Amino acid sequence: MPLPKATAAVQPDTIGADYAAITVAHRRLYWSVQPAQMHPAVVEHTRLGTQLLAETTGVARRVLATALAESLLLAGRIEFFDLRQPEEADQTFVRALQAAGEADDSLLGAAILAHAAFVPGWAGRRDEAAERMRAARTYVRRAPASVEFLAWLDAVEAECETRCGRTREALRLIAHGEEVIAEGNEHASPDWFNWFSPIRLAAFKGSTELKAGHIPQARETLTKVLEGLPAADIKQRSVILGDLAAVEAAAGNPEAACARAEEALDLLTRTWYATGMDRILSVRRDLEPWADRECVRRLDDRLYGWQTTLSALKR
């Protein structure tokens, strides 16, 4: 559905900045607020922004459209990563791209397209993911991009390649991302680009090494990532702990795997993250050969306890 066109400037010139201030607050709140609570607030904010576009012209409209695009991107991120609703996320990313086009913000458009690539990439539809990544890389050439942003594009494509069983190509892309960051450039990342850093690139690398069967390397990489991540980065830490649990399961160490998995569950009880829980459920499947071990039964008690089960159902 196309965005509304304004025939007259009903709203004051400050409307774009006022709307953007709430978008910025949501940007920060995302990292600690439960997704079931955060998502409705963000969605309502996007509905307001869409309606306001019909009453805004000029510079204020462009500022408003930029903030709306970011809010729609956040809504899609919550739907995909936190709630595991890929179909809804795909539709939201389309609306986000419309808003970015209204703002003529190529870098934000590239970010949205790269997020959209996750949807088919995680489902194993490589050709579709590759097409969206080509579009993202085309958009990013139209605007000055920081090395972190360019490396993130490599990381996204690497994640999609890994999910499609092409771990060698994924590791090549991650190595290229490391080179890009090492070379540096004069461009700074926009304020909204707050989900990636060199330590996050290392997290992608460790996960890919795990999928490639490079168990000692994955353990070393992921351990360093865990040590380098801020304690407040609960969602990402739950994913890394899940990957470390998978490393130990692959190495035949069920006790260590269960210990890491329980650490991840401790974090998920504080802030729900479906992507983190997916990691734990995958580890539990890997631990089935040791299902009679006390450590695995204890993990099952945690995994299927009242609080965890309710969180999973409420997502």
Q: Is the pLDDT of residue 235 over 60?
A: yes
Read off the amino acid at residue 162: T
Read off the amino acid at residue 266: D
pLDDT of residue 6: 72
CB 290, CB 255: distance < 8 Å: no
- Read off the pLDDT band of 315 (50, 70, 90): low
- Residue owning tokens 């998502």: 39
- Over residues 210-230, mean pLDDT: 97
Q: Is the pLDDT of residue 147 over 70?
A: yes
Closest CA to 161 of 203, 189, 133: 133
Q: Is the pLDDT of residue 67 over 80?
A: yes
Q: How far apart are CA 148 and CA 129, in angstroms?
A: 21
Domain positions in the chain are 1-104, 106-196, 222-315
Q: How far apart are CA 227 and CA 85, in angstroms?
A: 31
By three-state DSSP, how is residue 13 classified?
A: coil
Task: Please report the DSSP string for 137-163 in residue order.
Answer: HHHHTTS---HHHHHHHHHHHHHHHHH
CB 164, CB 156: distance < 8 Å: no
DSSP letter for 81, please: I
Task: Please report the DSSP string for 174-228 in residue order.
Answer: HHHHHHHHHH--SPPPPTT--S--HHHHHHHHHHHHHHTT-HHHHHHHHHHHHHH
Tokens matching residue 304: 């299927």
CB 164, CB 124: distance < 8 Å: yes
- Read off the pLDDT band of 247 (50, 70, 90): very high
Angle between helix axes 35-53 and 15-29 (nearest 10 degrees) is: 170
Read off the amino acid at residue 125: R
CA distances from 40 to 24, 47, 79, 82 (A): 16, 11, 11, 13
Read off the amino acid at residue 47: R
pTM above 0.85, yes or no: yes
- Over residues 168-183, mean pLDDT: 98
pLDDT of residue 141: 96
**Average pLDDT along the chain:** 95
Q: How far apart are CA 305 and CA 64, in angstroms?
A: 44
By three-state DSSP, how is residue 3 classified?
A: coil
- Read off the pLDDT band of 306 (50, 70, 90): confident
- Read off the pLDDT band of 312 (50, 70, 90): low
CA distances from 307 to 96, 237, 269 (A): 34, 20, 7
Residue 212 has φ and ψ, to the nearest 5°, of -80, -5
pLDDT tens figures, 248-292? 999 999 999 999 999 999 999 889 899 999 999 999 999 999 999
Q: Is the pLDDT of residue 103 over 60?
A: yes
